[in-house]
A and B are shown apart, each in its own frame.
Chain A
Amino acid sequence: MKMSTKRRINTIVSEIILIFVSFIVMMPVILAITMSLQTPTEVFSFPPKLFPSSFYLGNFPEALKTVNMGRLLLNSTIVAVMITLGKMFTGVFAGYAFANFRFRFKGILFAILFATLFLPAETVMILPLFLIMKKFGWINTYWALTIPFMASATNTFLMRQHLLTIPKDLEDAARIDGAGPMVYLWKILIPLSLPMLAGMSLVNFVYAWNMYLWPLIATMSDEMKTVQIGVKMLIDAESANNWGVIMAGTLIALAPTLVLFFAVQNLFVKSLVRAGIKG
């Protein structure tokens, strides 16, 4: 009896704290939605509103027009898809090499790749990378925004760990049937790895979509910028600080990854944890 009361109190307290925390965490997004639905006069009304009184949708086309959000969304999509595909491609190949083959210098090559685990080139290396991109003539192109980030130690490691769990007999059987190493990879290993590859690409996509510092310096013209930079351009462009328009733009920039995350949250969580707990 005493125990169950104690447990009930514990549940109630936990619920209250969690409702409160959920509210605080979601508040910026909720209030951004509220703000984005207000007319220019309502935006500056005092006190600030918690709920929009009108369902004004004009801020969205305004945001799309002010900084050409459509183009920026397209750029972000191109960049994020290219980086994701590149990372998957290099990661699958390198992971396959390290998991299924024996070759000279394997240990050293593995160490060289692994040393880059905590070296985010898009931040630590911005200056030398910028100068190299200039030499290549890649500044202000999609190449500069994507190619330098198409390899990752994490993807390689995950692929390797996953392939090590697939029984060796399968490979021997495939070889007896006359399948070469590439056929075996394409026909057998990749189909067996699809759920893991899907989770990996989701994490890669969000990472690439959210990049900020590198696109900020590697692009010069407005039509090459990504949506992350667009949000800041919007703040600067709205000299009168019409927060309704700024928040509309922010929601446009935030929607793709947030919707994706809500839709397949479990896959995200699983992949993140798998990527983190190494060894």
Chain B
Amino acid sequence: MARKLTPYFLLIPAFLIIGLFIYWPAVYSFNLSFHRETPFGTRMIYVGLKNFKRLFSSQVYTDSVKVTIAYVTLSVTITVILSLFLAMLLNQKIPAVRLYRTFIFAPYAISPAIAGTLWTFLLNPVVGHVNYFLMKTFGIQVEWLTTKPYAFYAVVFATVWKMMPFDIIFYLAGLQSIPDELLESARIDGASLWKRITKIIVPLLSPITFYLVIMNTITTMFAAFAIIDVMTKGGPANSTTTMIYRLYLDAFAFQRTGKAAAESVILFLIMAVITIFYFRLVEKRVHYQ
């Protein structure tokens, strides 16, 4: 009898926490998103889907959606491609390769907030080395963090720097699991390096690429908040205000609870779609094996 109840006891701590701090907030934000605070903020009144309608007719919000799409697409694409390239270089048996790995992996242990601080410093127009270098070699001077569109590129750059090690670690593990004989025999058959990459390596690594695209999308949509908050605070002129930054502003700077709850629901739904998509594909892959 005791043994029958044991598993339930074992599950209590985990389910208490996800119930109270994930499922309850999720339901709560759905509920809030259908309400609006009265002018004095004393109580909430039911407004149906009005919060969502207002969101999508507000230019500020649709702009944040566009910024998010551009930022996620650009950062994830660059990170994945660069990481695959660097992983292939790091997978060779050449002198000092372990040392390079250690250095190139380092930003994994550096937080997004600190990544943002470091790049804010390097891009600083007065004390930053990047600007000095650009001025010396190309004669250009750019106010990276305060002018459009450079602030956006600066944030993308810092994001790629921070995210790359994670991807390289996975690609390296993937490359090490590809048998040498496979690539060697393709080479003997006369397949060029480009052919070997596109016809063998990329297809074999596609499950990893898929996983990395999902993880990177989540990172850029949410964790990169810190990079943006430190480097640009969403500016200039909202050009780096992503959806999570907009949510933060509406919820905590402007105290628009109903509107911000609707924004939470939208982000939640995006994550739900990504999760379902992920499990579908993983399931398929497991069936084929």
Which residue numbers of A lie inside 8 Å of B, CB to CB? 11, 14-15, 17-19, 21-22, 25-29, 31-32, 35, 43-44, 46-48, 50, 86, 89-91, 93-94, 96-97, 101, 103, 106, 109, 112-121, 123-132, 147-151, 156, 180-182, 206, 209-210, 212-213, 216-217, 228-229, 231-232, 235, 241, 243, 246-247, 250, 253-254, 257-258, 260-262, 265, 268-269, 272-273, 276-279
Contact = CB atoms under 8 A, between A and B. Distances in A.
B18 A113 contact: yes
Interface stretch (B19-27, B45-53, B58-66): B19-27
Given A97-B7, A276-B170, A232 B267 contact: no
Nearest to B16: A151
Given A118-B275, A147-B21, A28 B119 contact: yes
A181 B2 CA distance: 10
B284 to A, nearest CB: 10
A272 B117 contact: no
B90 interface: yes
A130 B107 CA distance: 30
Contact of B229 (A11, A119, A232): A232
Interface size class of B (residues with CB under 8 A): 35 or more
A273 B102 contact: no
B8 interface: yes
A15 B96 contact: yes
A243 to B, nearest CB: 5
23 contacts: A15-B96, A17-B89, A25-B104, A26-B106, A44-B127, A48-B127, A96-B10, A106-B7, A109-B11, A113-B14, A127-B32, A127-B261, A129-B25, A132-B24, A148-B20, A206-B108, A212-B111, A217-B252, A232-B117, A253-B114, A261-B108, A269-B173, A277-B211
Contacts of A124: 222, 264, 267-268, 271
A182 to B, nearest CB: 8
A81 B112 CA distance: 20
A246 B257 CA distance: 35
A94 B208 CA distance: 27
Nearest to A11: B94
Contacts of B178: none
B215 interface: yes
Contact of B215 (A103, A216, A250, A276): A276
Contacts of A19: 100
Q: What does DSSP make chain A's interface, helix, strand, loop or mixed? A: helix
Nearest to A206: B109
Contacts of A250: 114, 117-118, 121
Interface stretch (B70-78, B146-154, B243-251): B243-251
B38 interface: no
Interface of B: 2-4, 6-8, 10-11, 13-15, 17-18, 20-22, 24-26, 28-29, 32, 86, 89-90, 92, 94-97, 99-100, 102-115, 117-122, 124, 126-129, 132, 136, 161, 164, 166, 169-170, 173, 208, 211, 214-215, 218, 222-223, 225-226, 229-230, 244, 247-248, 251-252, 257, 260-261, 264, 267-268, 271, 274-275, 278-279, 282, 285-286
A126 B121 CA distance: 29
A26 B95 CA distance: 19
A124 B244 CA distance: 8
B127 A279 contact: no
A258 B106 contact: yes
Given A21-B86, A97-B10, A50 B129 contact: yes
A32 B132 contact: no
Q: For B11, B247, B267, which residue has the most chain A Cβ atoms within 10 angstroms?
A: B11
Nearest to A118: B275
Given A123-B244, A151-B18, A278-B282, A273 B169 contact: yes
Contacts of A129: 21, 25
A118 B121 contact: no
Contact of A151 (B13, B119, B222): B13
B25 A128 contact: yes
Given A127-B261, A246-B121, A93 B17 contact: no
B12 to A, nearest CB: 8
A121 B22 contact: yes
Contacts of B26: 119, 125, 128
